[in-house]
Amino acid sequence: MAAEMALVKPISNVTPKFGSPRLGSYSKFSSIRMSATATPPPSTSTKPSKKGNKNVIKESLLTPRFYTTDFDEMETLFNTEINKNLNQEEFEALLQEFKTDYNQTHFVRNKEFKEAADKLEGPLRQIFVEFLERSCTAEFSGFLLYKELGRRLKKTNPVVAEIFSLMSRDEARHAGFLNKGLSDFNLALDLGFLTKARKYTFFKPKFIFYATYLSEKIGYWRYITIYRHLKANPEYQCYPIFKYFENWCQDENRHGDFFSALMKAQPQFLNDWKAKLWARFFCLSVYVTMYLNDCQRTAFYEGIGLNTKEFDMHVIIETNRTTARIFPAVLDVENPEFKRKLDRMVEINQKIIAIGESDDIQLVKNLKRIPLVAALVSELLAAYLMPPIESGSVDLAEFEPQLVY
Ligand SMILES: [Fe+2]
Ligand SMILES: [Fe+2]
């Protein structure tokens, strides 16, 4: 899961009870208690501290989020006696694929990691830490949601429940691998603390489907694009984690395909005018969140030889084409006007950030922000109202193990 879905504000904060994950117990390292955002990256002191680094970093609208949902409604949706659209054969086939566990032995580290981390210095080192931390938080967010869905759907639909549990296995593996990456920098995310302390964004099931589908597919396109770029330009391969992205992104692709199957089994979420409006809304939220986030971190993308905006537009266009196979409507992201709007949002966002960093008193900051926030909302609205592309209705016959590229 890539969790490029943060612009939407929390509707309520519910903290579900999860078992305590056995990830991230690196007590000999500094421990990061919250996910970083646009605030300065955590200290990367090479001297491990037993007390732990008490960085409490505030969340922003663009921080990777944790999600919860209406699990009772989920149980109704996946009850085979109530919902006759559930194609159990299709889910059985998907389950077999997840059980195959293609990446069981993929995430094995070697000494290259620590050596590469030691060579990273200055701002690039800090931005790498932030990349690892944000990615780990996003993967872990998927782990928590899928694990709980696996637990809650066990009685109603054991096949779907088992797939969720196996997807949580994948996400735990991804989060754990990223957290081990942080250990190369003598840091570790305190995932147990995150589970309890983070706010949970509540989405109704249909919104969970749209958001997680997009999150998985955009994650796939981000990982595979970075992988291909570094394969073609190995001089930018400054940390070995990217070499793992090829197989890794196939996990995300499979997760996205599973959500396709889930949505097909809930045609009421795909076949009316409201579905079209929501589909466009979620596409816009996910694309804008990624674009604004990445444009605040151009040093990272430049550090691995990518042009941030070109990279993001490629990922947005490919994700949108993939999404058009299942969503009833998508945005016309290939219209040059869409990118112009994104670029204007970046400019406005930079001004908003500059106000936050200024020495003005809070009241003055708030007053200065008002016209900029209004301008940002108006750009968002204009992008949302651009003529959409009618899509969907392509019957997905892609549940065989298959690569998208
Ligand atoms: Fe993942
Ligand atoms: Fe995933």
Instruction: List, for residues 313-336, the tens digit of each pLDDT value.
Output: 999 999 999 999 999 999 999 999
Instruction: Tell me the CA–centroid distance for residue 115 and ligand 1, in Å.
Output: 25
Ligand nearest to the CA of 253: 2
Q: Give per-residue pLDDT as tens, 150-203.
A: 999 999 999 999 999 999 999 999 999 999 999 999 998 888 888 888 889 899
Ligand nearest to the CA of 175: 1
Q: What does the pLDDT average to over 116-140? A: 92
Provide the b/e sequence for 140-159 (b: ≥16 CB within 10 Å).
Answer: bbbbbbbbbbbbbbeebbeb
59 confidence band (pLDDT: 50, 70, 90): low
Ion ligand 1: protein residues whose beta carbon lies under 5 Å: 139, 171, 174
276 confidence band (pLDDT: 50, 70, 90): very high
7 confidence band (pLDDT: 50, 70, 90): very low
Q: What does the pLDDT average to over 390-402? A: 55
Q: Quick one: pLDDT at residue 62?
A: 62
Instruction: Tell me the CA–centroid distance for residue 353 and ligand 1, in Å.
Output: 30
Instruction: Tell me the CA–centroid distance for residue 220 and ligand 2, in Å.
Output: 8
Q: Quick one: pLDDT at residue 231?
A: 96
> Residue 136: which residues within 8 A CB-CB, separation 6 or more?
175, 178, 179, 181, 182, 189, 191
Is residue 29 over pLDDT 60?
no
Binning the chain into helix, strand and coil, the percentages to the nearest 5 are: 60, 5, 35
Is residue 394 over pLDDT 80?
no
Instruction: Tell me the CA–centroid distance for residue 245 and ligand 2, in Å.
Output: 12
Strands (E), 255-301: none
Residue 80 identity: T
Residue 294 identity: D
CB 143 within 8 A of CB 217: no
Is residue 42 over pLDDT 70?
no
Instruction: Tell me the CA–centroid distance for residue 144 and ligand 2, in Å.
Output: 11
Q: Quick one: pLDDT at residue 30?
A: 53
Phi, psi of 394 (to 5 degrees): -80, 120
Residue 319: CA atoms inside 13 Å, Cβ hemisphere, count? Answer: 36
Instruction: Tell me the CA–centroid distance for residue 23 and ligand 1, in Å.
Output: 15
Provide the b/e sequence for 172-204 (b: ≥16 CB within 10 Å).
Answer: bbbbbbbbbbbbbbbbbbbbbebbeebebbbbe
17 confidence band (pLDDT: 50, 70, 90): very low
Q: Quick one: pLDDT at residue 22?
A: 31
> Residue 113: which residues within 8 A CB-CB, separation 6 or more?
180, 181, 184, 239, 240, 241
Ligand nearest to the CA of 255: 2
Q: How far apart are alpha carbons 265 and 315 in whole angstroms?
A: 27
Provide the b/e sequence for 220-253 (b: ≥16 CB within 10 Å).
Answer: bbbbbbbbebbeeeeeebbbbbbebbbebbbbbb
Ligand nearest to the CA of 214: 2
Instruction: Tell me the CA–centroid distance for residue 253 and ligand 2, in Å.
Output: 7
Reading the block at residue 15, the tokens are 């903290």
Instruction: Tell me the CA–centroid distance for residue 171 and ligand 2, in Å.
Output: 6
60 confidence band (pLDDT: 50, 70, 90): low
Start-to-end C-alpha separation, the chain? 19
**276: helix, strand or coil:** helix
> Residue 362: which residues within 8 A CB-CB, separation 6 or more?
none
Instruction: Tell me the CA–centroid distance for residue 1 and ligand 1, in Å.
Output: 4
Instruction: Tell me the CA–centroid distance for residue 325 and ligand 2, in Å.
Output: 19
Phi, psi of 175 (to 5 degrees): -65, -40
Instruction: Tell me the CA–centroid distance for residue 7 and ligand 1, in Å.
Output: 20
Q: Quick one: pLDDT at residue 1?
A: 60
> Residue 57: which residues within 8 A CB-CB, separation 6 or more?
32, 33, 34, 35, 36, 37, 39, 42
Is residue 117 over pLDDT 80?
yes
Instruction: Tell me the CA–centroid distance for residue 284 and ligand 1, in Å.
Output: 22
- Bridge partners of 390, per DSSP, are 329
Hey, CA dihedral for 141, 343, 229, 233, is it positive or negative? negative
Is residue 274 over pLDDT 90?
yes
Q: Give per-residue pLDDT as tens, 85-115.
A: 888 899 999 999 999 999 999 999 999 999 9
Q: Quick one: pLDDT at residue 378?
A: 97
